[in-house]
Amino acid sequence: MVRLFNKAPKKRHNNFIKKSTAIPRGRGASFSPHSTPTHQQWRPFLQPDRRLVFITLAFVLFGLIFTYSSSAFDSTSFFKRQVLFDAMGIAAALFLSQTYSKLQKIKIFSPMNLMYVTWVLLVIVLFTRSQANVHRWIDFGFFKLQPSEIAKVTLVIYVADYLNNVSGRLAKNWKLLVKPMVVAGITLALILAERDIGTPMLMGAVFVCMLLVAGARFKHLAIPAIAISPIAIHQLFFVSYRRDRIFSFLDPFATAGSTGYQLVQSFLAVGSGGWFGKGLGNSELKLEYLPAAHTDFIFSIMCEELGLIRVVIILLFFCWLLIRGITLARIAKTHFHSLVIFGLTITICMQAFFNMAMAIGLLPTKGIALPFFSYGGSSVIMTLVMMGIILNVAAVDNTQNNLREDVTNYKNRNK
């Protein structure tokens, strides 16, 4: 990964910064023509990346519109709850966009401690009441918590922190890969025990991408990949309902009355939308023909109502988010910041592309939500939490750059 670091300032420059950042005390403290300007006085809040803020708000807005539109008979109820989830997510994103870097320095919020909490939740959920024959949610009555959504964030943060500590040594010492692989393996195994294979596949792909950009070599990853391949083959081909999904994916119309029904209905929704769609709210397939129309298959309803041309715009927005995230990762000032931005960005974008590919038959059907759009509390809130962390890490680096520029400009003006 390419990282751009500023050269270390001279000692005299550091002394000047320390003096200039002293905040005046007293009730009447204010600027004077002879006082040194301080960064804290100029910018009381971190300035978030405007492009990411725009993308996030656009996704939230359109997500609410399609939650309402894709809900056939109970639109108001789903919409109200989704508004609440979005409000909670935005509040969390705003809080983290200003405080995440400070919280990360507190020992209780260390990456390994976050992983311990995540493991506890993933174990607890295995003993909860089964819902739709799976154990994925902890039901609090007013809210259902999905621990696997939390695991997406905590695993990325842990891996970024660990890789930051061993930066530059991965290529020479393959043993450094053992610890993060064990942590990731425990996390993915607990999620797999919930009868969820989509999330482990997504997180596993993100984990490998982070290792590669941090300097790991393909040959170091080949042996672990060969070791877990029997487990993957068993889960895909020797678990009956997953095997049926794979075969129905290969020829959905041959099983249109059983396992291929959902994918065939998705094809009908996508195809019937044509170039410009049937119009917002005019979907016919959402009328109990396409199961999970407001959750996993909301993209199919979007294609039916908007048409190909308008849906491509949404796809381009996800591409814009991916490009912007990678750009911010490339110019981050620390390896940790770079890996956090990269990991969280590709988690969101890869999940979006997996969901879209599933809806149009490029991947087997799986319960993977479309970020920002699919109805669901944990998914929406944790997606916005990811955006809040990205905004904070990027803003911290940008603020440090501005501080150096402000001090330098002040010195030049007062020579």
The whole-number average pLDDT for the span 200-220 is 90
How many domains are there within the chain? 1
6 located within any domain: no
What pLDDT does residue 30 have?
Answer: 42
Q: Where in the sequence is the domain holding 193, given as residue range(s)?
A: 47-400
Is pLDDT at 13 greater than 80 in this prediction? Answer: no
18 located within any domain: no
340 located within any domain: yes
Q: How confident is the model at residue 400 (pLDDT cuts 50, 70, 90)?
A: low
393 located within any domain: yes
Torsion angle (degrees, nearest 10) of CA 366, 315, 332, 398: -130
Measured CA to CA, the distance from residue 210 to residue 214 in angstroms comes to 6
Is pLDDT at 258 greater than 50 in this prediction? Answer: yes
375 located within any domain: yes
236 located within any domain: yes
What pLDDT does residue 229 have?
Answer: 86
- Of 9-13, 169-173, 182-186, 228-232, the range with the lowest mean pLDDT is 9-13
What integer best gives the mean pLDDT of the chain?
A: 82
What pLDDT does residue 73 have?
Answer: 67
Is pLDDT at 91 greater than 90 in this prediction? Answer: yes
370 located within any domain: yes
Q: How many residues are given for the chain?
A: 415
Residue written as token pair 């020579």: 415
14 located within any domain: no
Q: How confident is the model at residue 128 (pLDDT cuts 50, 70, 90)?
A: confident
Which residues is 144 bridged to in the sheet? 139
What pLDDT does residue 382 have?
Answer: 95
Q: What is the b/e burial string over 33-57, where b = at least 16 CB atoms within 10 angstroms of the residue's CB?
A: eeebebbeeeeeebebbeebeebbe
The whole-number average pLDDT for the span 110-138 is 88
Measured CA to CA, the distance from residue 307 to residue 300 in angstroms comes to 10
pTM of the predicted model, to two decimals? 0.84
**Model confidence over 28-80: pLDDT tens digits?**
444 344 444 444 444 568 888 999 999 999 999 999 999 888 886 666 788 88
According to the 3-state scheme, what is the secondary structure of the chain?
CCCCCCCCCCHHHHHHHHHHCCCCCCCCCCCCCCCCCCHHHHCCCCCCCHHHHHHHHHHHHHHHHHHHHHCCCCHHHHHHHHHHHHHHHHHHHHHHHHHHHHHCCCHHHCHHHHHHHHHHHHHHHCCCCCECCECCCEECCCCEECHHHHHHHHHHHHHHHHHHHCCCCCCCCHHHHHHHHHHHHHHHHHHHCCCCCHHHHHHHHHHHHHHHHCCCCHHHHHHHHHHHHHHHHHHHHCCHHHHHHHHHHHCHHHHCCCCCHHHHHHHHHHHHCCCCCCCCCCCCCCCCCCCCCCCCCHHHHHHHHHHHHHHHHHHHHHHHHHHHHHHHHHCCCCHHHHHHHHHHHHHHHHHHHHHHHHHCCCCCCCCCCCCCCCCCHHHHHHHHHHHHHHHHHHHHHHHHHHHHHHHHHHHHHCC
Is pLDDT at 370 greater than 50 in this prediction? Answer: yes
Is pLDDT at 140 greater than 50 in this prediction? Answer: yes
What pLDDT does residue 31 have?
Answer: 39
What pLDDT does residue 371 have?
Answer: 94
Sign of the dihedral through C-alpha 267, 268, 269, 275: positive
Amino acid identity of residue 297, one-letter, is: F
